[in-house]
A and B are shown apart, each in its own frame.
With several copies, the nearest count.
Chain A
Amino acid sequence: MLAILKNRHVRDTGFQAGFVGALVILIVALVVTGKANLEAQGLTSGFGFLERSTGWRISFSLIDYTTSSPYWLALVVGLLNSLFLGAVSLSFATLIGVTVGVMRTSGNGMAELVGTTFVEIFRNVPLILQLLFWYSLLLSLPAPREVEPVLGVFAFTGRGIYIPGLNITGLSAFLIVVSLIAGASVNLWLSTAERFKTVSVAVRRKWKICLWLGVAIVVFAITWWGRLPETPFFTIPEHRGLNYRNGIRVSPELFACIIAISIYGAAYIAEIIRSGFNAISPGQGEAGHALGLSRWQIFTRIRLPLAIRIVMPTLINQYVWLFKATTIGIAISFTDFFMVVSTAINQSGQTLELIAILMGGFLVINYSIAWVLNRVNDAIKLKGTQMRI
C-alpha cells in the first residue's frame, strides 16, 4: 500500500486528479451556493430577461436603439460602442505612439526631449485621472452659440466636436471600417503568404487591384444602403438655433475617451517602438546609406518595417491590454459594453447572468484581437533562422 503511494505515476495522477477535481468542486460549489442564495432572495435566474425591453436610453449608439428595445439589443449596442472606441483609439494610439517613438530615436535633441516628456507624463498618471482631465477640458470649451467653425467646417464646442460627414447610419460606418480592415488584411496576406510566393509580382499586383476594386464596390454599396432617409448625402456643420446641425457630432464623452486612451496608449506604444528601433543594428542603416538611400527612404523602407517586426509580439499584448482599458469610459458615462452591463444590472437585477455575458464578451473580443494580430505577426515576421538584424 505504502509502495503504491510512493509510486511516481500514482502520485502524478493523484496530484492532477486532485487539482482539477478541487477546481471543479469549487466551481460547482460556487454555482450551487449562488443559485440557493438568489432563490432565497426571490430573484429569478435565467436569460429570459434579455427579451424584455429596457426602458432606458443609451446616449451613443451605432445602431437603432430606443427605450423600448430589448436588453440584448442594449448589450449589442454596448459591445459595438466598445469595439468602436477600441478601434478608433487604438488606431490613434498607434499613430501617436509611433510618432513619439520615432521622435525619441530621431537624433534630434528637441524631438527627443519632447518625446521623453510626453512619455513620462502620460505614462505616470492613472488613465482615469487623465480621462477626467480631458473631459473637463472639453466641457470647458465654449457653447455652440459662441463658436465660429474652424475653416468653416470644424466646430469645437463644449457640446461636442462637429465635423463634416456623410449622412449614413452608424452601423454602415462601422461596416465600412470593417471592410477596409478586411481589405488591408487580404492585401497583406497576398503579399506575404507562402503559397503565393511562386506567383509573380505583376500577377499579384493585378489581384490586388481587383481586391481593392471589390472593396471599393462593397464600401460604396454599404454607404448607399446606409444613407439616412430624407437628408442630403454629405453635410457640413452649420449654426442653427441653439446648436450646430448637420455634419457629424462627436460627443465630448466619446472624444474624451478617445483622447485619453489614445494618449495613454501612445505613451506605452512609444516605449515599445523605441525599444524596437534600438534593437535594430546600426549596420542596417549604414548599408542603406552606402547604397545611397536617403534618410527618409532608410526610415520608411528599412528601419520602420524592421522595428515593427521586432516589436509586433509585444505590441499584441499591449493592444489587448489597451482594449481592456476602454472600460474606463464608465467613469464619464461613455456607454461602452461595461457601462451597459452595469446599468443593466442596476435596472434588471440579473447580476450573475449579466456578469457572465460581460466576461464572455471580453474573452471573445480579446482572444479575437490576439488571434488576428498573431496571424498578422506570422505573416510579416522575418523569414529564416538568422534573426540578427
Chain B
Amino acid sequence: MTEHAILIRNMNKYYGSFHALKNIDLEVKRGERIVICGPSGSGKSTLIRCINRLEEHQSGDIEVMGTMLDENVDHIDEIRREAGMVFQNFNLFPHMTILENCILAPMLVRKIDRVEAEKTAMEYLARVKIPEQASKYPGELSGGQQQRVAIARALCMKPELMLFDEPTSALDPEMISEVLDVMVGLAEDGMTMVCVTHEMGFARQVADRVVFMADGQVIEQAEPETFFENPQNERTKTFLSQVLGH
C-alpha cells in the first residue's frame, strides 16, 4: 500500500490539437484534502476527469491508490471503484428512486446483496441528512438535495478517494451551504478529497493544500494560509482579487 492516493507525473492531455493539460505533476497523499481552483477553461475539470479516465490523457503517468492508469481495462475498473466522483450537474439517474440510485452500483459492481446495500445506502443518506427522501425520484428534489444524494451515492461505493467537480456551482445560493456542510463533515472524517471549487471559504476551512491552475498548467500550490495571504504568482494574485473581491 503506497502512501499516495494520487500520483501524477508529467501528464499531458490534448483535445485534438488543443493542449488542454501541460506537464501536470501532482501528488495527493492518503487522507489529504486538495482544493483546485483557477479561472474558467484552465483545465480543472479536465484534470479531475483524467484521474478516473472519463478523459484519456496522452502522455505521462497517473497512479491512483497504487494502481497505474494504463490501457489495461482491469486497472481502469479498479480505479473507478476506488474513486467516487460528484459532478456539477448531479447526474442522478432520473428513472430510479434515490435509494435505487444509491444501491445500483454497489449491487452491480461490488456484488453486495440488496439488503446490505440498502442498509449502507440509508446510512449515507442519513449522513447527508435526507434519509426521508429515499423513495422519491430525483426530479422531485431540490438541487441541493440532489447534490447531497449524489455525494451519498458516491459514498455508497465506499471509495478511498472522492473527486468533486464544482459541486456547488449549479446551485442557488441558499443551497450551497447545505452541500458544503456535508463536504466539510466528510473532510473531518478523514476522507481523501480532491475538490474543484470556487468556494474559498470551504478551501480555507478544510483544504490541506490549494492548487491553482491556469492555462492547463499548475501554477502554484500552497497551504491555504500561504495561498490566500501570500500568493507568489501574478496570475494567482489577479485571480484571487477577482474571486475574493465578490
Per-residue B-contact encoding for A182-219, CB less than 8 Å = 1, 0 else:
00000000000000010001000000000000000000
Q: Which residue of B lies closest to A10 (CB)?
A: B71
Nearest-neighbour CB distance to chain A for B100, whole angstroms, equals 9
Q: How many residues of B contact A (CB 8 A)?
A: 40
Segment among A23-31, A95-103, A245-253, A380-388 that sits at the interface with chain B: A380-388
* Interface size class, chain A: 35 or more
Nearest-neighbour CB distance to chain B for A198, whole angstroms, equals 8
Tell yes or no: B23 within 8 A of A by CB. Answer: no
Q: Are A293 and B109 in contact (CB under 8 A)?
A: yes
Among B134-156, those with CB < 8 Å from A are 135-141, 146, 150, 153-154
Contacts of B53 in A (CB 8 A): 289
Per-residue A-contact encoding for B163-197, CB less than 8 Å = 1, 0 else:
10000000000000000000000000000000000
Q: Are B89 and A290 in contact (CB under 8 A)?
A: no
Q: Are A290 and B54 in contact (CB under 8 A)?
A: yes
CA A383 to CA B136, docked complex, whole Å = 9
Known interface pairs A290-B80, A291-B109, A292-B109. Does A386 touch B74 (Cβ–Cβ under 8 Å)? Answer: no
Nearest-neighbour CB distance to chain A for B198, whole angstroms, equals 20
Q: Are A289 and B80 in contact (CB under 8 A)?
A: yes
Nearest-neighbour CB distance to chain A for B82, whole angstroms, equals 9
Contacts of B54 in A (CB 8 A): 286, 289-290
Q: Are A197 and B135 in contact (CB under 8 A)?
A: yes
CA A266 to CA B102, docked complex, whole Å = 35
Q: Are A291 and B154 in contact (CB under 8 A)?
A: yes
Contacts of B163 in A (CB 8 A): 290
Contacts of B60 in A (CB 8 A): none
Q: Are A292 and B80 in contact (CB under 8 A)?
A: yes
Q: Are B72 and A384 in contact (CB under 8 A)?
A: no
Known interface pairs A290-B52, A291-B157, A382-B95. Does A6 touch B72 (Cβ–Cβ under 8 Å)? Answer: yes
Tell yes or no: A284 within 8 A of B by CB. Answer: yes
Known interface pairs A7-B72, A197-B135, A289-B54. Does A301 touch B104 (Cβ–Cβ under 8 Å)? Answer: yes
Contacts of A292 in B (CB 8 A): 77, 80-81, 105, 109, 157
Nearest-neighbour CB distance to chain A for B8, whole angstroms, equals 18
Contact of B94 among A297, A301, A306 (CB under 8 A): A306
Contact of A382 among B72, B81, B94, B141 (CB under 8 A): B94
Q: Which residue of A lies closest to B163 (CB)?
A: A290
Among A275-333, those with CB < 8 Å from B are 281, 283-284, 286-287, 289-294, 297, 301-302, 305-306, 309
Tell yes or no: A11 within 8 A of B by CB. Answer: yes
Q: Are B109 and A383 in contact (CB under 8 A)?
A: no
Among A74-114, those with CB < 8 Å from B are none
CA A129 to CA B104, docked complex, whole Å = 48
Tell yes or no: A8 within 8 A of B by CB. Answer: yes
Contacts of A309 in B (CB 8 A): 95
Q: Which residue of B lies closest to A386 (CB)?
A: B139
How many Cβ-Cβ contacts under 8 Å join chain A to chain B?
105
Per-residue B-contact encoding for A229-246, CB less than 8 Å = 1, 0 else:
000000000000000000
Q: Are A286 and B108 in contact (CB under 8 A)?
A: no
CA A299 to CA B80, docked complex, whole Å = 17
Contacts of B74 in A (CB 8 A): 6
Tell yes or no: B128 within 8 A of A by CB. Answer: no
Tell yes or no: B38 within 8 A of A by CB. Answer: no
Q: Are A8 and B105 in contact (CB under 8 A)?
A: no
Q: Are B77 and A383 in contact (CB under 8 A)?
A: no
Q: Are B135 and A297 in contact (CB under 8 A)?
A: no
Among B224-241, those with CB < 8 Å from A are none
Q: Are B141 and A384 in contact (CB under 8 A)?
A: yes
Q: Are B71 and A7 in contact (CB under 8 A)?
A: yes
Contacts of A197 in B (CB 8 A): 135
CA A268 to CA B105, docked complex, whole Å = 34
Among B52-94, those with CB < 8 Å from A are 52-54, 71-74, 76-77, 80-81, 83-85, 87, 89, 91-94
Nearest-neighbour CB distance to chain A for B241, whole angstroms, equals 33
Nearest-neighbour CB distance to chain A for B52, whole angstroms, equals 6
Contacts of A383 in B (CB 8 A): 94, 136-137, 139-140
Beyond A281-B91, A283-B91, A309-B95, 12 additional pairs, beta carbon < 8 A:
A8-B71, A284-B91, A286-B54, A290-B54, A290-B84, A291-B157, A292-B77, A293-B108, A294-B77, A384-B141, A385-B140, A386-B140
9 contacts between A and B (CB under 8 A): A11-B73, A284-B93, A286-B91, A291-B104, A292-B157, A293-B109, A302-B93, A306-B93, A384-B136
